Structure 1
Amino acid sequence: MGCQRLTIGTFGEIGYLRTAGGRSVARARYRDWDGKTRLVQAIAKTRKAAERALKAKLADRSLFQPSSSGLTPDSRFPDLVAYWLDDLDLEGRLSTRTRQLYERNMQTLVLPVFENLTLREIGVARCDHFLKQLAKQSYSRAKQARVVLRLALGLAVRHEVLPRNPMDHVSRLRRPASTPNELTPAEVNAIRAAITYWEAGSSPSGPRPDGQLGAIIEVMLGTSARIGEVLAIRSRDIDVTSATPSIRITGTIVSHRGEPTTRQDHPKTARSRRTVAIPSFTAEAVRRRLTRLENSSLDALLFCSREGTPLTTNNVRRQLRHVLDLAGITGITPHMFRRTVATAINEQGGVELAAELLGHTDPKITIQHYIRRSEMVNPATAEMLDRVFAEDE
């Protein structure tokens, strides 16, 4: 056998022997990923068969091996998932809500398809086919599955279990064309009327109203804030005595599985922390709500339970749906008020102002997800064309 210098992952010349029983032995020196050179051999009936068996062994060894995970390319995918979730906890970078979301998406979207596969069996073609099939059902689910599958397989690459991430080469997911659905002023007033009727006690159905739902809607309409951000507003965040009343958005409400609902001391993004001048209808709703607060502390929540604890976003959504169902109004979600505000401000003041109000760092997000494009081209074009192409008298 040759004596050439071996680098990690390479093997020397193949040598051949014959056993007493007439079988062929192919062997070579191989430098493993721990830096040690070992003799690897394979036995078969013929020299060619022994050589093929040896090369197959060496190809298996050429895959990266981790030093501490215990995972190999032959490990089952659920073993990688468990290792990945432990690694997320070790990093501690994610919020509890995001960590739970990742685990849920992995368990419900990805594992049912990949749970019986080994890591070496998960290639580009399999991942690409999986995402395309899922995208036929739901673009959103396919997008969520892509995120967690990429992260888990990326960890396998970083920890030297796999040589590459097959998710790096799958086809790009194509978002279906959609138009943001905002409410018209008439629809907003119909919603207001339905809530007013219910809060007046005129409806015999459901628990006794506490007067908060209408004010919550007015604050969403006057600030463009997310429902969680509205429920996190404290007395110290409100200024309704200045010439320009305002509300400062500084936090959000979070509900983690198995834990009580709490106020998080920062909103969704850094740009989401902002002070918003509020219109008169919002200022009036806030003043009325402040007079009903029993807790005079600056940290008291503007909207809260009778015990002063935070309201959950799910309960507010459920209550809004119940009230509007009684009025025969369906398909309304709290986020639609945010889109409605974005569209109105875009029409009155432009997309840059709409993005600033919504707390977006990039106006492209505002355009793509929040603003309904007007099909009416600016009528000024007609005047311009008249000036250029009008017939001579």
Structure 2
Amino acid sequence: MPRPRTPIGTFGEIYYEKAPGGRFRAFARFRDHDGQLRRVQTTAATQQAAARKLKELLAERAEQSVGQGELSGSSSFRHLVDVWLADLDLEGKLAQSTRDLYERNMEKLVMPAFANYTLREITVRRVDQFIKTLASTKSYSTAKQARTVLSLAFGLAVRYDAIPRNPVRDTVRLRKPPSQAQALTVEQIEVIRTAARSWRRGAGFSGPPPDGQLEQIIEVMLGTSARIGEALAIRKCDVDVTVSPATVRICGTIVSPKGKPTHRQHHPKTLKSTRTVSVPPFVAEVLRQRLVVVSDEGPEHLIFFSRNHTPLTTNNVRRRLRAVLEEVEIQGVTPHSFRRTVATFLDRASGPDLAAEMLGHTSSKITKEHYIQPDEQVDPVTADILEVLAPQNRDEP
């Protein structure tokens, strides 16, 4: 009956034999990383000393058999992160922006806590305490992001047989604090429009006035439900104002990868996010104005762009909007606020399914949980229905 194979990087039983001069030789068969079994031996004055030297030698050999792209329990956490990031690049399944976010979260949030540990030293207790501390000192969102990248990295370590289990899996589950999506009112939208139209215009401001694109971008987001990156990625060929109502095809987004120029990505956040939406007249008018601006450009040209005809970055638009709102003391409004507003207004008029379709969500559950402001008003029809419970004889006390 064949003997079981010795796993790579380990050894079987230790054997002994007499060596010249009354010494002892200890030896074992060691399976190297190439899968070959080789005899490894040491000699010492006593049998115990020879065995001890052999175990030390085999431990060193096992560490040496771990290549640059391999992992063991003695590998540093930083080495795990390097291997994990390289593995993400090899798979190529993540959008570049997501991959950069993972790396940033790992470096900024996680690495300071675990950089000096080996993998076998990072226990469930250490990870649990780290995540709880982050949630209490920073935020739920920060702790969740740190937990995500930790779990992904340690998942790779488990697949590489470096550790027996993922220490993140047994940590306490994070409890999301209660929150509600907030939509803008019609009155608030008008205040924002007025602030954008008047920002840095008039006497007392040096330099060229704003080019008016910010207020137009706001209108497009309000009429299409597009994310900020999707709105900035709309091209001349994506707009059709010859039909009624006018339509816009949402089929890309603007990305700014680390170390690379800002450019248009030829797909939005998800496959479902690719959609053609009909827009209200106030948005169609803005689109006609933008088409006039790019009338001499090719069909692939963006309708919103910088003075150098390069893509606008999402961060610059967010920064500009924040500056506009600070002057009128409006807080908490971001480009995503317009998307939530669209979802809430559509839900009130026709229900969450239409809102989900407009926003490009795979299900209305996401839309209801994160984008639609809860409606506290119960349908007034309840008053008529419950009238059946009124006293039968109203004259009696």
TM-score for the superposition, normalised by structure 2: 0.84
The whole-number CA distance in structure 2 between the counterparts of 1:68 and 1:103 is 19
What's the offset of the Cα at 1:178?
0.7
Which is further off, 84-93 or 144-153?
84-93
What's the offset of the Cα at 1:98?
1.9
Which AA in structure 2 matches 1:74?
S
The whole-number CA distance in structure 2 between the counterparts of 1:258 and 1:5 is 54
Tell me the residue number matched to 1:385: 386
The whole-number CA distance in structure 2 between the counterparts of 1:203 and 1:301 is 33
What's the offset of the Cα at 1:5?
4.1
What's the offset of the Cα at 1:338?
0.6
Tell me the residue number matched to 1:208: 209
Tell me the residue number matched to 2:339: 338
Q: Tell me if the contact between 1:6 and 1:12 (Cα under 8 Å) persists in the aligned partners.
A: no
SS in 2 for 1:217: helix
The whole-number CA distance in structure 2 between the counterparts of 1:239 and 1:283 is 9
Which AA in structure 2 matches 1:188?
I
Q: Tell me if the contact between 1:77 and 1:118 (Cα under 8 Å) persists in the aligned partners.
A: yes
SS in 1 for 2:169: helix
The whole-number CA distance in structure 1 between the counterparts of 2:159 and 2:303 is 47
What's the offset of the Cα at 1:339?
0.7
Q: Which deviations, in whole Å up to 9, do the C-alpha atoms of 1:258-293 show, x marking residues without a partner?
A: 222111111111111101110111111221222233
Tell me the residue number matched to 1:225: 226
- Closer/same/farther in 2, CA of residues 335 and 122 from structure 1, 3 Å limit: same
Which is further off, 233-242 or 96-105?
96-105
Q: Tell me if the contact between 1:66 and 1:161 (Cα under 8 Å) persists in the aligned partners.
A: no
TM-score for the superposition, normalised by structure 1: 0.84
The whole-number CA distance in structure 1 between the counterparts of 2:53 and 2:381 is 77
Tell me the residue number matched to 1:265: 266
- Closer/same/farther in 2, CA of residues 260 and 39 from structure 1, 3 Å limit: closer
Q: Tell me if the contact between 1:30 and 1:40 (Cα under 8 Å) persists in the aligned partners.
A: no
Tell me the residue number matched to 1:351: 352
What's the offset of the Cα at 1:111?
0.7
Which AA in structure 1 matches 2:217?
I
Which AA in structure 2 matches 1:306?
R
The whole-number CA distance in structure 2 between the counterparts of 1:62 and 1:170 is 31
What's the offset of the Cα at 1:142?
1.1
SS in 2 for 1:167: coil
Which is further off, 198-207 or 311-320?
198-207
SS in 2 for 1:306: coil
Alignment of 1:300-339 (within 5 A): 300-339=301-340
Which AA in structure 1 matches 2:257?
H
The whole-number CA distance in structure 1 between the counterparts of 2:358 and 2:243 is 20
Q: Which deviations, in whole Å up to 9, do the C-alpha atoms of 1:224-275 show, x marking residues without a partner?
A: 1011111111111111121221111011111122222111111111111101
What's the offset of the Cα at 1:68?
6.4
Alignment of 1:44-63 (within 5 A): none
Q: Which deviations, in whole Å up to 9, do the C-alpha atoms of 1:97-136 show, x marking residues without a partner?
A: 2222111111111110001111111122211221111111
Tell me the residue number matched to 1:102: 102
Tell me the residue number matched to 2:112: 112
SS in 1 for 2:294: coil
The whole-number CA distance in structure 2 between the counterparts of 1:187 and 1:379 is 26
Q: Which deviations, in whole Å up to 9, do the C-alpha atoms of 1:10-44 show, x marking residues without a partner?
A: 99889999xxxxxxx99998989958597899x9x
Q: Tell me if the contact between 1:66 and 1:160 (Cα under 8 Å) persists in the aligned partners.
A: no
Q: Tell me if the contact between 1:247 and 1:276 (Cα under 8 Å) persists in the aligned partners.
A: yes
SS in 2 for 1:276: strand
Tell me the residue number matched to 1:22: none
Tell me the residue number matched to 2:191: 190
Which is further off, 329-338 or 91-100?
91-100
The whole-number CA distance in structure 2 between the counterparts of 1:202 and 1:293 is 30
Tell me the residue number matched to 1:21: none
What's the offset of the Cα at 1:202?
6.0
Q: Count the aligned residue pairs.
A: 387
The whole-number CA distance in structure 2 between the counterparts of 1:255 and 1:15 is 61
- Closer/same/farther in 2, CA of residues 175 and 133 from structure 1, 3 Å limit: same
- Closer/same/farther in 2, CA of residues 11 and 265 from structure 1, 3 Å limit: closer
- Closer/same/farther in 2, CA of residues 348 and 205 from structure 1, 3 Å limit: farther
Which is further off, 228-237 or 369-378?
369-378
The whole-number CA distance in structure 1 between the counterparts of 2:188 and 2:311 is 29
Q: Tell me if the contact between 2:247 and 2:278 (Cα under 8 Å) persists in the aligned partners.
A: yes
CA RMSD of aligned residues (A): 3.7
Tell me the residue number matched to 2:370: 369
The whole-number CA distance in structure 2 between the counterparts of 1:200 and 1:266 is 36
Tell me the residue number matched to 1:130: 130
Q: Does 1:150 align with 2:151?
A: yes
SS in 1 for 2:276: strand
Tell me the residue number matched to 1:176: 177
The whole-number CA distance in structure 2 between the counterparts of 1:179 and 1:57 is 61
Tell me the residue number matched to 1:283: 284
The whole-number CA distance in structure 1 between the counterparts of 2:163 and 2:269 is 34
Which is further off, 343-352 or 328-337?
328-337
The whole-number CA distance in structure 2 between the counterparts of 1:349 and 1:60 is 69
Unaligned stretches of 5+ residues in structure 2: 18-24
- Closer/same/farther in 2, CA of residues 60 and 140 from structure 1, 3 Å limit: farther
- Closer/same/farther in 2, CA of residues 360 and 83 from structure 1, 3 Å limit: same
Tell me the residue number matched to 1:86: 86
- Closer/same/farther in 2, CA of residues 62 and 139 from structure 1, 3 Å limit: farther
Q: Tell me if the contact between 1:6 and 1:31 (Cα under 8 Å) persists in the aligned partners.
A: no
